[in-house]
Amino acid sequence: MEAVAVEVRKSILEGCSIIDLVEFLRSTESFKLTPLNFMRVLNEAVGIQMLESRELISMFDSEMSPIVSTAEVELQWRSTIDARR
């Protein structure tokens, strides 16, 4: 997961959207995209605690597809990321 976390960190620092990040992780063969693994990689990549990322995860189903509008997900994502700066 360490190599994936490095790529995730780089993408987040470049300002990626959460939808793009989820798609990147979905396409990465060495990473099994699950809600728990997503929370783990966010923690490893940029220090987002699992309690913080839980609100983000609640906006996705178990397959990591958004269950609310993309705009709503992105707003929460930006809020979470901006709080880290």
pTM of the full predicted structure?
Answer: 0.92
Q: What is the pLDDT of residue 6?
A: 97
CA distance 26 to 49: 21
CA-CA distance, 39 to 48, in Å (whole number)? 8
Q: What is the per-residue pLDDT across 8-41, written as a single tens digit (0 to 9) for each? A: 999 999 999 999 999 999 999 999 999 999 999 9
17: containing domain = 2-82
Task: Kindly provide the residue ranges of all beta strands, DSSP E only, lying in 1-85, ordered along the sequence.
Answer: none
User: What is the number of domains present in the chain?
Assistant: 1
